[in-house]
Amino acid sequence: MGGGDKCLLEFGGQTLLDWILARISPQVRTTILNANGDPARFAGFGLTVVPDMVEESLGPLLGILSGLTWVAENVPDAQWVVTVPGDTPFPPGDLVDRFMRTAAGPGVEVVCAVSGGRTYPPCSLWKVDLAGELRDAVLRDRILKIDEWTETRRTEWVEFETGAVDPFFNVNSPEDLRRAEAFAKELLG
């Protein structure tokens, strides 16, 4: 996409981040953004910006770890963290509710999304007390793929319907951005 923050790309008169926040913020108590670099570029969103714990680029699992760690340190009564990638503008309006119902099962530690026969492990619900074990896995053992780590945990999967728009569609190219624009028009009627 030419570098920069994908979540700040615009379509339908809003940034990807605006689209995500409109759907996720009503479902959660606290919203944070994992991003490196100058947090001032996100000042207009009113979010706490949490950088990765280490400067080495280790991928999205490090971002999840950084978020879990921040929540464990700053929201002591939180038991779960939901993650949504910054390039996924149409997460379901019942995402957290359905994840939490599944998380109520015995011993569940992670809940991940499935749609249209595809898994979406970056869009997940994580037990906050996994932060220490995840820290060891990422920083010591160099486990960097989300599904490689979730395979070692008690992970459940929640199937979401794919209607006119896959709720986990992500923007990875200029063509995807054009598709997002079309999907936005369809969703807004």
Taking the CA of residue 33 as centre, how many other CA atoms within 13 Å lie in the half-sphere pointing to its CB? 26
Report field, pTM of the whole predicted structure over 0.85? yes
What is the torsion angle, in degrees rounded to the nearest 10, for the CA atoms of residue 104, residue 80, residue 19 and residue 45? Answer: 160
Q: Residue-wise pLDDT tens for the chain (189 aa)?
A: 556 789 999 998 999 999 999 999 999 999 999 999 999 999 999 999 999 998 888 889 999 999 999 999 999 999 999 999 999 999 999 999 999 999 999 999 999 999 999 999 999 999 999 999 999 999 999 999 999 999 999 999 999 998 888 999 999 999 999 999 988 887 776
CA neighbor of 17 nearest in space, from 66, 65, 88, 70? 88
CATH topology of domain 6-188: Spore Coat Polysaccharide Biosynthesis Protein SpsA; Chain A (3.90.550)
Per-residue confidence (pLDDT) for residue 2, from 0 to 100: 58
Domains of the chain, residue spans: 6-188
Do 16 and 171 form a contact (C-beta atoms < 8 A)?
A: yes
- Cβ atoms of 135 and 65 within 8 Å: the answer is yes
Cβ atoms of 102 and 158 within 8 Å: the answer is yes
